[in-house]
Amino acid sequence: MKSLFISLAVAVALFTTALSCGGCASSAKKGSALTAADSAAIAMAVNAKLDSMQKAAAEETALPENIDAAHESFIRAQEMELRGEKALANVFWQHAAESDPYNRYLAFKLAEIIAAQGVDSLALVQAQHAQRLKGTATASQLGLLAHLYVKDGSADSARKYFNAALDSSRYQDMTLLYDYSLFLEAVQDGKELVRVYDLLLPQVNYMPTLFQRQLKLLLDQGKDSAVVELFEKGHEATGDKKMLLQMVQGLVFQKRMKEAQAVVDTLSETTKEDESMIVLMMSALAETDREAAYTLLKKKYLEDGVRTPILANFLGHYENMFGNLDSAKVHLKYAAENIEDQRVYVTNSYHALAAIAFKEKKPKEAVRYAEMADSVALGGDKALLAMTYGTAGMYSKAYKLLDSLIVVWDKWTPMEGIADSASMQRMQVEVERNRRQFRDAYARILTVEAQEIQQKDIADSAAVKKAQVLRGKADSLYRDLLNRDSSDLGLLNQIAMNLERMEKFDEAFKLFDKLLLPENVAKIDLPEVLNYYGYTLIDLNRTPEELDKGIALVNEALAKDNSAEPTEAYLDSKAWGLYRKGLFAEALEVMKLIKNPRFEEDYVYWEHMAAIQEALGMKTEAAASYKKLKKLQPHHPAVKKFYKK
């Protein structure tokens, strides 16, 4: 009806125009009427125009003359495809498209066939023609154009049609997304590629290869937060604990501790991943707050049931550190007996058990644990074993073991046939390490024995002489080690302390001053060095200047002490400094802060306490302190002097 209405309206317009023209003509003829010839000419013009418009309308709306052939070819093409006769199907598809040249679907089908035959340029021309035909554009049609533009090298057009196709499919076409991602990789558009992978990954259930591509892109672009979110999404989709572990690692790396701990708080399974996350969180907390790390570990192991041998090992170490020795022994033994294929953890468990045995004054038990550690380490723990023998007072056994080891490593030569310089260098480094550690252990044991001899009776001249001989041997070993590595500040500290015990004070003080140079303080146990040096100056009391320096050093040690409570040895040093300055009451107040029971067996503590009490006129208290000092050191000069009175 619409086309007819238009035709009639045009006819009326033409007729009106004709009449107007006719009027003009008649006017030209000075009022003469229309002739029959004029009417016939007008009618012919109108009919011609109507025929032209009707023909155009018919061409626009009418089906092609061979539509039946197009339909038949379409059906036959589908039948051939179902039978697997692809070549024959293509013939019918082509015939259908030729029979219905204005059909968008068939035009694109023909473009697909041409593209499949590898004639990409012709396929692109056909697809461009098909795109101009009327009809709704589908994702597959737009995608075909995108692929053909890729092959044509037209990146902008390819990108345009990929996006149009994906919009049409509402980004649900996985194949199209993947192909677009390959295009983006080719043009190196990392930013857009991240967006596409983010859409594609959930559809492929976070396929590992694609996941790794996205991970690399995010890391290359420095998107650390997005990396964490990627692992979070991956874990939510797949339930893979490894992804959750990597997420926690990312959170800890970014210092997002509350988020990391929130994840760790939910863990309750004895999986390797749960264990690793707890160890990671515990280690991160321990950097600033060991007590918080200990609390976390106790909760996960004792309350939440994440009970693995590795966690038992860590828990035992923390319990030992915080003085819960009975529980520590239980967990360390369990760890040592159940950890598999990780000798370091097992040997560490036995080391801690040996240390606890020493605390409980069970040297034989300590030795047994040290021997078990060496056995687990396949003989690689000999230096610590020798130190254990020495600490247990088994000096001859320690020296015998070290003598044999030193001889072996000093005579070491490389095996024949080792030509790889890198391997040779590694072996030589290991050999030198062994030579150093056995000499260092030997020197330390010599000083331990010397100290034990002196503590038995500081007034026994023969014992003192023997102790000095041992210290002389230790000094020779230390000097040899220092010649091999002059940058070892720990070794320098050992030499300084040994020299002080040998009463070579000025030489020792030079080394202490070197240790306290600005460039060295960050590399040493600063509070320990400050206290040792300071106390020595106070105890010597050679000059007022040295005394003041010693007091200042001890005060600095206390200021830099990171312990929860002031280290009591430092308090003793401070009290002795106050005593030397004549501040007896203040000295006593500081001494009262010392509560550790081990000081009951420390003769130096009772020497100081007795002197301070005597200076304050506290005769009864001083007598009691001197009595304890006498029990520990019967021939101590201060005891003789007191009882002489």
C-alpha distances in Å from residue 109, one per residue of 69, 80, 101, 495: 17, 15, 12, 90
Q: Give residue for tokens 């892109």.
A: 217
Q: Would you say residue 536 has pLDDT above 50?
A: yes
Q: Give residue for tokens 């036959």.
A: 76
Pull the structure tokens for residue 633.
């050191």
Per residue in 444-488, pLDDT (tens digit) is 999 999 999 988 888 888 988 999 999 999 999 999 999 988 899
C-alpha distances in Å from residue 169, one per residue of 128, 196, 490: 20, 14, 69
Q: Would you say residue 305 has pLDDT above 80?
A: yes
Q: Band of the pLDDT at 13, cuts 50, 70, 90?
A: very low
* Residue 601 φ/ψ region, left for φ over 0, alpha for ψ in the -120 to 50 degree band, beta for the rest: alpha
Residue 628 in 3-state DSSP? Answer: helix
- Kindly state the average pLDDT of the residues 433-444: 92
Q: State how far the Cα of 217 lies from the Cα of 48, in Å rounded to an integer.
A: 69
8 Å CB contact between 471 and 443: no
Question: What does the pLDDT read at residue 565?
Answer: 80
Question: What does the pLDDT read at residue 267?
Answer: 92
Count of other CB atoms within 10 angstroms of residue 145: 25
Mean pLDDT, the chain, integer = 86
Q: Minimum mean pLDDT among 94-98, 105-109, 431-435, 526-530: which range?
A: 94-98
Report percent pLDDT > 70 for the chain: 89
In sequence order, which residues have a C-beta less than 8 Å from that of residue 333 and are 6 or more positions away? 349, 353
The DSSP annotation for 20-72 comes to: HHHHHHHHHTTSPPPPHHHHHHHHHHHHHHHHHHHHHHHHHHSPPTTHHHHHH
Q: Would you say residue 281 has pLDDT above 70?
A: yes
Question: What does the pLDDT read at residue 575?
Answer: 97
Q: State how far the Cα of 165 lies from the Cα of 175, in Å rounded to an integer.
A: 11
Report which of residues 249 and 43 the model is more confident about: 249
Q: Give residue for tokens 């089906």.
A: 63
In sequence order, which residues have a C-beta less than 8 Å from that of residue 231 and are 6 or more positions away? 243, 244, 246, 247, 250
Q: Band of the pLDDT at 418, cuts 50, 70, 90?
A: low
Measuring CA to CA, which residue among 14, 10, 17 is closest to residue 53?
10
Question: What does the pLDDT read at residue 181?
Answer: 84
Per residue in 326-381, pLDDT (tens digit) is 999 999 999 999 998 889 999 999 999 999 999 999 999 999 999 999 999 999 89
Question: What does the pLDDT read at residue 45?
Answer: 61
Per residue in 170-212, pLDDT (tens digit) is 888 888 888 888 888 888 888 988 888 888 888 888 888 888 8
Count of other CB atoms within 10 angstroms of residue 322: 13
Count of other CB atoms within 10 angstroms of residue 229: 15
Question: What does the pLDDT read at residue 184?
Answer: 87
Kindly report the pTM of this predicted structure. 0.66
Where does 239-362 have alpha helices with state H? Answer: 241-253, 257-264, 272-286, 290-298, 309-321, 325-338, 343-359
Q: State how far the Cα of 562 lies from the Cα of 165, in Å rounded to an integer.
A: 65
- N residues, the chain: 645
Report which of residues 421 and 562 the model is more confident about: 562
Measuring CA to CA, which residue among 581, 637, 638 is closest to residue 609?
638
Q: Would you say residue 65 has pLDDT above 80?
A: no
Per residue in 379-388, pLDDT (tens digit) is 989 999 999 9
Q: Give residue for tokens 């991956």.
A: 234
Measuring CA to CA, which residue among 186, 111, 112, 200 is closest to residue 155?
186
Q: Which of 24-33, 183-192, 525-534 is the most confident on average?
A: 525-534
Q: Would you say residue 12 has pLDDT above 50?
A: no
Question: What does the pLDDT read at residue 38?
Answer: 63
